[in-house]
Amino acid sequence: MAAHHHHHHHVDPEDGDARVFWAIAVNMGLTVAQVVGGVLSGSLALIADAMHNLSDAIALVIAFLARKIARRPANSDMTYGYGRAEIVAALVNYTTLIIIGFYLTFEAIQRLFEPADVDGWLVVIIAAVALVVDLITALLTFSLSRESINIRAAFLHNVADALGSIAVIIAGTAIILYDWRLVDPLVTLLIAGYILWQSFSEIGDVIRILMLGRPSDIQTASVLEAIRKVNGVTGVHHLHFWQMQEHENALEAHLVIEAGLWDHADAIKQSVKEALMERFGIRHSTLELECSRHACPNPSIIGHGE
């Protein structure tokens, strides 16, 4: 693989797939070790970390498949292509994480009232192994996470995991040194809280894309304003502006061309497309042209209601 050194930040898709595959393999092995260790040592925090690791591995499996699917070209069934497979995968991942977070919170609260016996040494050893695995996975997926919401979901699972492992090591140490059993459920609550906070803060963007919302970093008003400023445009209506995929925005609208400039309509349309591309990076725009004398009567600016 060494020959494939690219100097820009895009990761070669095949190379990326291989990294995700290894990250999955390592995480699956770790999950098994942690569940066995959690059951043998009686530590809920260790099982919490294992659940999180399993969700990591599943997150990576989903991310891995979604990456493959997303690269398929558009066809007569999926005319927009398959890019949204990654967005759907991210939604599934965050949803499962939220369920796990609530479940762990519930279990930990029960344990606060009835602390269990925990074998501190076993906990510390397994959590230390887990931490190493989490760091390896994080290194494997970090460069990919900058480009894809899908891999970022998996990467965040991983960072949360590494923190979880550190917390479990602290808990195990407290149990060895002071036999302080409450530390196990308390650490579990911390891990669960982090999982929930992370998931809720990320899931909004995913839902927004699936709901055909505008890109969160561009205001629709500024897009309308940019279109209206183009010479020869007297009006714009029936505007739809949405995020097709994480890095692809699309727009469609009706443009009203100034009276007497119909001969220049194509040039005006071209100017609008260029303005959209330069200012907002909107590469996919569909514009319907109307002569000012035959424009839609009282149209709505946004959407297609009359």
Which is more confidently placed, 10 or 101? Answer: 101
What gap in Å lies between CA 110 and CA 117, rounded to an integer?
14
**Of 10-14, 188-192, 221-225, 285-289, minimum mean pLDDT range:** 10-14
What is the model's pLDDT at position 2?
40
Token pair for residue 279? 């200012």
Please provide the DSSP assignment of 264-279 as one string. GHHHHHHHHHHHHHHH
Average of per-residue pLDDT across 234-243: 92
Whether pLDDT at 175 is above 90: no
What is the C-alpha separation between 172 and 252, in angstroms, rounded?
A: 58
Please state which CATH number belongs to domain 2-210: 1.20.1510.10
**Torsional class of 212: left (φ above 0), alpha (ψ -120 to 50), beta (otherwise):** left
The mean predicted confidence, pLDDT, of the chain is 83
Tokens of 219: 């205001």
**Where in the chain are all domains bearing CATH 1.20.1510.10?**
2-210
Looking at residue 1, its pLDDT comes to 36
Token look-up 């505008």 returns 214
Contact 127, 173 (CB under 8 A): no
In angstroms, rounded to a whole number, what is the distance separating the alpha carbons of residues 14 and 135? 22
**Whether pLDDT at 187 is above 60:** yes
> Residues of the chain with pLDDT > 90: what percent?
24
CB-side neighbour CA atoms (13 Å) of 8: 3
pLDDT digits (tens, 9 = 90+) for 250-295: 999 999 999 888 999 999 999 999 999 999 999 899 999 998 888 8
Q: For CATH 3.30.70.1350, list the domain ranges present in the chain.
A: 220-294
Q: What per-residue confidence (pLDDT) applies to 280?
A: 92
Residues 205 and 115: their CA atoms lie apart, in Å, by 39
Nearest Cα residue to 163 out of 185, 131, 193: 131
Q: Which segment of 66-75, 82-91, 141-150 scores lowest on mean pLDDT?
A: 141-150
Q: What is the pLDDT of residue 123?
A: 80
- Closest of 228, 162, 172, 222 to residue 195, by C-alpha: 162
Q: Domain spanning 220-294: which superfamily?
A: Cation efflux protein, cytoplasmic domain (3.30.70.1350)
Global pTM?
A: 0.73
- Rounded distance, CA 55 to CA 95, Å? 11
Interatomic CA distance for residues 92 and 153, integer angstroms = 10
Per-residue pLDDT of 2-57, as tens digits, reads: 444 333 345 566 777 777 788 788 878 878 888 888 788 877 777 777 777 777 77
> Three-state DSSP class for 122?
helix
H-type helices in 72-119, by residue range?
85-113
